[in-house]
Amino acid sequence: MKAAVIPEVNAPWEIREVATPRPGPGQVLLKVHACGLCHNDLWTAQGVFPFPSCDPAITGHEAAGEVVEVGPGTTSRQVGDRVGTTWVQATCGRCSSCRGNPPLTGSSGMTCAAPVMTGLNVQGGHAEYLCVAAASTVLLPDGLDYVTAAPVLCAGYTAWSALRASEPQPHERIAVLGIGGLGHMALQYARASGFETVALTRSPDKHALAAKLGADLVVRDGEELREAGGADVVLVTGTSYEAATDALRGLRVGGRVVLATIDPVGSFRIGPNAPTFWARGQRVLGASHDGLGYLTEALDLVARGDVTPMTEVFPMERITDAVDKAARGEVRFRAVVTY
């Protein structure tokens, strides 16, 4: 099969002929049709996060495709099923975290001593074929095409999980910080759920787009958010904890700031920007892939047309263009590679 191989840290990705995987017990083999490019893929390839330990190094965890073979003992999926895959494929079942029998989530994956992580320690989805644990797949809603489904499998899943984690109340105002892959989905999910929605973006060229995606208001930073009356929830979906710290200026009494962002260098601080955080009864929450039920909800909202990922589609031969453009922050808003 052909796959997008990352030769070494920071090297351009290359389409190479590699061995096609075969499904083991409990696995399915997918013909990948589309795989989104997450910011975490970039950081993995740049060595900001640990470089993929699979050989050859193939990353990607937003793969949507068709089951073409099932491994021994696989009963939940059949040949011909249209499925989406997820980043955490399995946990070890034996470590101290697994002994609590947590569900398959970003949290259980990150706390397990020996998890199976798509595109990190096993082959990822930027390839023509991919073997994954059947239990980590979801059946795609009928009529939802692969390119549109792909960004939901991480960006949409995380954005919806972050909104769910904030437990928004009917009258509340939701701000989304960082309008990228996750952020443009979070904005739409909040709007589709009926909330007044604020986009917080440092990119002036995104103001009109954010409004088009459903933002009732677009602001530049925490101070502008505060001047505009603040928000009950800030969904932090950009790449910067510094920006999240700044956004605290605009958090209302009883407000929640939800960190979906993974910032490998900056820090989130409750300091001078939020001097009365304690008295205002505010909370800081983390969010990740918080359960396959949420992923199903996120996919259903897209299948119904309430939320539509904005994608730029690249055929696999143009993988380096996709990676370069995403790294420059110029993709609006998710690069999806077709295989």
Ligand X SMILES: NC(=O)c1ccc[n+]([C@@H]2O[C@H](COP(=O)([O-])OP(=O)(O)OC[C@H]3O[C@@H](n4cnc5c(N)ncnc54)[C@H](OP(=O)(O)O)[C@@H]3O)[C@@H](O)[C@H]2O)c1
Interacting residue ranges for ligand X, rule: CB under 6 A: 38-40, 106, 154-155, 158, 178-182, 201-203, 206, 237-240, 243, 260-263, 288-289, 329
Taking CB within 5 to 8 Å according to partner kind, which of Zn ion, ligand X, none is near residue 275? none
**Rounded to the nearest whole angstrom, what is the least distance from the CB of residue 36 to ligand X in the complex?**
8
Contacts (Cβ under 8 Å, ≥6 apart) of 148: 302, 308, 309, 311
Residues 6+ apart with CB under 8 A from 204: none
Based on the shown chain and the rule CB under 5 A, indicate whether residue 185 belongs to the binding site for Zn ion.
no
- Mask for 128-167, x = binds Zn ion (CB under 5 A): --------------------------x-------------
State residue 298 phi and psi, 5-degree precision.
-65, -40
Nearest CA among 204, 214, 205 for reference residue 183: 214
Quote the DSSP letter at residue 118. B
User: Quick one: the chain helix, strand, coil %, rounded to 5?
Assistant: 30, 25, 45
Q: Which does 288 bind (CB under 5 to 8 A by kind): ligand X, Zn ion, none?
A: ligand X
**In the complex, minimum distance from the CB of residue 241 to Zn ion, in angstroms, rounded to a whole number:** 17
Check whether the bond before 204 is cis (ω within 30° of 0).
no
| Residue number with CB closer to ligand X (26 or 36) | 36
Residue with token string 């070890």: 92
Residue (243 or 336) nearer to ligand X, CB: 243
Nearest distance, CB of residue 120 and Zn ion, angstroms: 11
**Total count of residues recorded for the chain:** 339
User: Which among ligand X, Zn ion, none contacts residue 98 (Cβ within 5 to 8 A by kind)?
Assistant: Zn ion
Tell me which residues in 259-288 interact with Zn ion (CB under 5 A). none
Q: Quick one: 21 or 222, whose CB is closer to ligand X?
A: 222
Half-sphere exposure of 205 (CA within 13 A, CB side): 6
Nearer Cβ to Zn ion (229/264):
264
How far is residue 204 CA from its own chain's centroid?
24
- In the list Zn ion, ligand X, none, the entry touching 95 (Cβ below 5 to 8 angstroms by class) is Zn ion
